[in-house]
Structure 1
Amino acid sequence: MDGKVAIIGTGLIGGSIGLALRASGAEVVGHDDDYVAARAALQRGAIERAASSASEAVDGAELVILAVPVDRMEAVCSQIDPGPEAVVTDVGSAKAAAVAHGEASFGERFIGGHPMAGSERQGVEAADAALFQGAYWILTPTPATSDRSYGVVADLAGRLGATPVAVEPAVHDALVARLSHLPQLVASALVEVAVTTGDQDALLGLAAGGFRDVTRIAASDAGLWVPILRANRSAVLDALDGLERRFEDLGSLLREGRWEELRLFLDRARRARLQLFAKPVYGGDPAALDLMIPDRPGVLAEVTTAAGEIGANIEDLRIIHSTEGGRGRLHLVVAGEEKARRLESALERLGYRVERGELLE
């Protein structure tokens, strides 16, 4: 990525991306509707120039990163008109609506993104060039996404120390509803229960480590969370329904004194929690697959969808273009040998010629 990068929104995520890119020598121009935030980003060195408008910031940019709240995506997309070769991505934690707005404005040049990293602190003051080191950067290609757009943003993630992982927008939203959005609601509800029961000061003064750990994220900015929950409302409601059913089950076990069943419930959760973090979430020894792909729209989405359907996690994806006949080579790294074999078979059924490749540095 040798050209100009424009970052719209210079808060925690936008500022962290800017710091990391500038540390690697990239030209970064930023804009924030909040003049104070833009000035702070400039002073911190997250951007080298603060543009007076979003449209000015994207002029001549090779890559445009929309690091704005999810409820601002539609408006920002309508305000900018980057050049015909510019790739556009976002970093929001709800993808279905963001992808719809992005593709309506920029077509194949847009690809949704969500770096799975953050902080309880907000603003560019909390930005950190190392924020994305070791994190997963979710990409949400669709049949409309160009291979080039995917490649540019996957390269961005790798350049910032993250691992790009491709999933469909709806799958992403269901996952984050359970792993991020539901825990936020649970933490807030637990605090509410505590402070509305009895002597608030005495109760919170007695709060032990478990309560503090579980409710830590309740301290997050409510103003940021309401738009996120609104944007992902359907998936969050599904997650809440599942939690309510679990609570109903627990209530029945307690009321009826079914202590052995309660022990089994708690033990299942204990073993699942231990297993969850006993290995990487996208664990398994990496296996590389190489396949020749035609130069036509939708190929990348077809491949990543096939991976998603069998639960294969793509930990690296590179497009190596060929000058012969408009074809290129797609290099995939899949977590786990068994998943690699299944993906190889699935792609061959789709008509691709797949070969085992070498892991690239």
Structure 2
Amino acid sequence: MTVRAVRVHRHRAALLRPFVTAARRTEAVDYVVAEVELDGGAVGQGSAADAVAVTGQSAASITAALDGPGRRALTGASGTIAELSARISAALPQATSAAAALEVALHDAWARGHDAPLAALLGGSIAGAMENDMTISLEDPPAMAARARQARAAGTRILKVKLGRDIDEDRRRLHAVLEAAPDVRLRLDANQGWSPAEAIRIIGGLEAEDLPLDLVEQPVPAADVAGLAQVRAAVGVPIMADEAVWSREDALRLIDAGAADLLNIKLAKSGGIRPALAIADAAAEAGLTCMVGAMMEPRISITAAAHLAFSHRAITLIDLDPPAWFASPAPAGGYTEDGGMLRLLGGPGLGLDRLDAQVDPATHAPARHDPARHDPVPSDPPPEHPAP
């Protein structure tokens, strides 16, 4: 297949309520949409959110990467889907969010050209459902209890709880959540907040309280693989690596060190569908389980992540609740969720309606970027995420 054109446009979407972690507070999301048009006329879309605190990539740098090296690498290029995906990875080795947006758009167009759901072309199935969680962001205990009560009333049985740096306050938060929703399971996200010794002490204490813990996510800094292995060996609750795994090489490093029970795969970290599948392959070979997660990203990104989750046997968990936070559901389609169970709707590609380049889905005002205009970009974008 041959790529006829690459287009880029930006959007901004308000959240229904602030999303708060120990690292940041988000009230609206700026994001970039990449469009790929193939010679046969099929058009696919992918997206990437401004998430500087996590990926080091802003909407401006994502736009620059897509308008510059991304567009140059793909426009007019011919090859198989794997070959074109490799061109994107080579052109954007550090700008993983931008690479993911472009690579997902390419896969969406490819699958639309075959008139088939992406998950099916990747060897999976759109049948069945996967159980999603709901994130309870970092607030005071009564507010978190109210959010937990609302989520449970909507049918959600798994709550992901963001933790801060004050373990006593965190315990009050957790108990408030469980008092409000006593039959839920908990996934705890420490966001690299503890030293190995602190993590062992804190997790051990929570285990002693017999809390319904499914896992603890990235308790220590991403670079401290040995420390993560130390924590895993000392506690009973499964330990999941998140910020520590961006690539297949990272996955192999964690596996060799015995540092994690689970790996959290995010398209914005891996740089797209094919690099994400390579991580899942590594996990499967080692007998590990994977989760497909996301940051505060729009529906296009989340639908792509859902197709990834339905495509690989090693992926058994999902953390794909961000669209529930968005004030606008645009674009329509892709998947549905009821009672915490996520199902793909089918249809070609991602199964989504096309998001109009000229209209902001939240305000119906003109989008912030003209896809016909090429912004000047540096010829060699600087690294935008920390080295493993």
TM-score (norm 1): 0.28
Highest relative contact order (Cα 8 Å, sep 6+), 1 or 2? 2
Greater Rg by CA: 1
Higher helix share: 1
